[in-house]
A and B are shown apart, each in its own frame.
Chain A
Amino acid sequence: MVSEIWTEKYRPTEFLEVVGQDNIVKRVESLTNSLNIPHLLFAGPAGTGKSTLALIIVKKLFKEAWKDNYLELNASDERGINTVREKVKNFARTKSIGNVPFKVIFLDEADALTPEAQQALRRTMENYSTNCRFILSCNYSSKVIDPIQSRCAIFRFKLLEKKDIKKRLMTIAEKEKLTMVPEAMEVIYEGSEGDCRRAINILQATASISPSINPELVSTIISNAKPKDIKVVLDYALAGDFQNAREKLLDVMLKESISGQDVIKAIQKEIWGLPIEPEIKVKLTEKTGEVEFRIVEGSDPFIQLQALLASFVLAGLGKE
């Protein structure tokens, strides 16, 4: 049964359909053909083909029986490393079905695990390595501990190029009988930030309103998804009203379910449009970078963002 969700409907099912990762695909294909894969680590930005490639590997290995031999887990969704290990244990208990003597476990967002949790994961990988091969997926390989990296064949996925994403979108537009002008494609690509999945979602969201894809429609869809009220938060702060800025910030983060990192990104974009002196813009951007660093490191985003808002208050008072 084919899905109506385009990211699924048009997901590549053959190695040669995968775009933009030619080197990787070649290596992976030959490994898969040998019917014996080591543990794999797929590292790279979102929407560049990691899950897709894992699925292709598994379907090539196990053919129709792939669902029985494949377990998909997401480290940030699970309630901790112990649930992961439990699920792996239960899965690894039964032997594989078919010619291939092992089963495959795909662990997405493996870099969301703390270093301690990853140590535990390593032991699990070792315990079940005869029976199971792991495909780990992450955005930042630097967040994956060395012992795990050394046990895996590492594949670094690149951000997709504009032409690759365009090609995909054109294929889909044709099959779905949409009319699309080149400018619209540009807008979609901008909004996707190199994430092919997002690009397809933007396309489908736009198409759900009209099969004629024009740039204005796409812009509307994209701007509806942006955190709009960040500007309001900054306005409060620049006006010296810290308490309201803080409340509004919490409000925005909760209502739109956006993370601290997304807020930082939005703030950083807004700085250059603010009515303040250039030197202050520089200082604020530096401070923003520092706060982003702290958030990525693992501090409480809301508290760190407040420190940033306080800097904006100072800037507004002209005292920085």
Chain B
Amino acid sequence: MSPWTERYRPRKFSEICGQDDAVCKVENFIKDFKRNKKKALILHGPPGTGKTTLAHVAARETNSEIFELNASDFRDKNRLKEILKPALEQQSLADTGKIILVDEVDGISAVDRGGLQELLTLIETSPYPIILTANDIWDKRFNVLRRVSEMVQVKEVDYHTIKDVMISILRKENLFINNNLLTSVAVRAKGDLRAAINDIQSLSRMRDPSILTLDERNKEVDIFSALKMILKGKPTRETIGIFDSVKMNLDEIMLWMEENISAEYKGRELVKAVECLSRADIFKGRIYKQQYWRFLVYENFLLSYGISAAKKEAKVGYTSYKKPTRILKIWINNQRIAKKKTIAEKYADYVHIGSKRALKEFPFIKQILKNNLIRKELKLTQEEVDYLDKPVVV
């Protein structure tokens, strides 16, 4: 079940809709590369408008091999050499050209000063055309980069074009969605063609799409992006509202923050961030105890802005974030100690104490329970007995 955004990705210049100007400029850039002064071209514009697609199509159409570089690759000279080695050394055996693609060069604080310098050096010395993509290239650290590159804007895809593309895809898929709904989708997409295609794909899976209401996309943010924004970026006004766009309740978000803070922060900033987390947790506890929901404001603030502000400098590079593991571990553990629990319960019942207390005292109880008569007294099952006699101590 491949995504339609992949299946229907344009493979030829002629298949790219609504970006004629950009297509033309890119085609010329590659063809005239040897004669050009500028070795790099920046494709900039809102998401889902075809920047990366255009780069790949250009490679295809000019019979070139594409080498993709991640912004974080520029931090490490060796890594850079490693990736570009095959590109730079292998002089064309076949008569294929090469294109270097640096996708999302703006990322979130993606390229730091050192990395940026590497990139500029590459641009100066590269024998091959370099295409960069970015959503927002106007930050002042990109001043030099902009000067040495050709700037090509990729605009928001126009609403009619979006609709046309959707209709043509639906036709190929042999599906039908009524016109009003299509219009709805096209408008809601706000120029993001990828989003529109995703929306109709999910609609098409429903029995009766006409009765559906689409979720306002609202630049929907997933938890990984939120983590990135908070942990890597410096706090801004947007930071405070970031969790509103994440489709998860705050309790779950807290677990995600808890799991991933230490992947990013070290030393003093780690202490500050974890302290913020613990204060957020105190508010959470008070909300439950006192049902005073106003505290949610503070819990949210600490989890987003507080943690983000714990660091002095923004962070760069790619970090792999993990799903929270704590709940799963607790569940697994509960399965493992299931027998221990039932034994503790039987004992607790018999001696008039709570089962939690029995669990706490279990090492002593286990010893006492070696006595067969006592096992009979407590009516332990064979499984429980086997558990007690296991050689490995839990």
Some 12 contacts from A to B, beta carbons below 8 A apart, are A3-B374, A4-B374, A5-B351, A55-B352, A76-B354, A208-B367, A259-B356, A262-B360, A303-B254, A304-B281, A310-B274, A319-B268
Stretch among A15-23, A142-150, A173-181, A293-301 lining the B interface: A293-301
- Could you tell me if B368 and A205 are in contact, using CB atoms closer than 8 angstroms? yes
A120 CB to closest chain B CB, in angstroms?
Answer: 15
Q: Give the residues in chain A near B254, CB-CB below 8 Å.
A: 303
B375 CB to closest chain A CB, in angstroms?
Answer: 10
- Could you tell me if B377 and A298 are in contact, using CB atoms closer than 8 angstroms? no
* Bound Cα distance A72, B348 (Å): 12
Chain A positions near chain B (C-beta within 8 angstroms) = 3-5, 7-8, 46, 51, 55, 72, 74, 76-77, 108-109, 114-115, 197-198, 201-202, 204-205, 208-209, 221, 224-225, 240, 242-243, 246, 250, 254-255, 257-259, 262, 291, 294, 297-300, 302-304, 306-307, 309-311, 313-314, 317, 319
Query: Number of B residues whose C-beta is below 8 Å from A?
Result: 48
- Could you tell me if B270 and A310 are in contact, using CB atoms closer than 8 angstroms? yes
Q: Does B340 contact A (CB under 8 A)?
A: yes
- Could you tell me if A250 and B289 are in contact, using CB atoms closer than 8 angstroms? no
B356 CB to closest chain A CB, in angstroms?
Answer: 6
A114-B289, A313-B267 are known contacts. Are A5 and B359 too (CB-CB below 8 A)? no
- Could you tell me if B278 and A294 are in contact, using CB atoms closer than 8 angstroms? yes
Q: Does B88 contact A (CB under 8 A)?
A: no
B78 CB to closest chain A CB, in angstroms?
Answer: 26
A77-B354, A303-B281 are known contacts. Are A201 and B377 too (CB-CB below 8 A)? no
Give how many A-B residue pairs fall within 8 Å (CB-CB): 134
* Bound Cα distance A139, B370 (Å): 31
- Could you tell me if A250 and B326 are in contact, using CB atoms closer than 8 angstroms? yes
Q: Give the residues in chain A near B284, CB-CB below 8 Å.
A: 299-300
- Could you tell me if B354 and A74 are in contact, using CB atoms closer than 8 angstroms? yes
Chain B positions near chain A (C-beta within 8 angstroms) = 254, 258, 262-263, 266-268, 270-271, 274-275, 277-278, 281-282, 284-285, 289, 326, 329-330, 333, 337, 340, 348, 350-357, 359-365, 367-368, 370-371, 373-374, 377, 394
- Could you tell me if B374 and A5 are in contact, using CB atoms closer than 8 angstroms? yes
- Could you tell me if A257 and B281 are in contact, using CB atoms closer than 8 angstroms? no
A204-B368, A299-B281, A306-B258 are known contacts. Are A108 and B353 too (CB-CB below 8 A)? yes
* Bound Cα distance A91, B262 (Å): 52
Most chain-A CB neighbours within 10 Å: which of B254, B274, B284?
A: B274
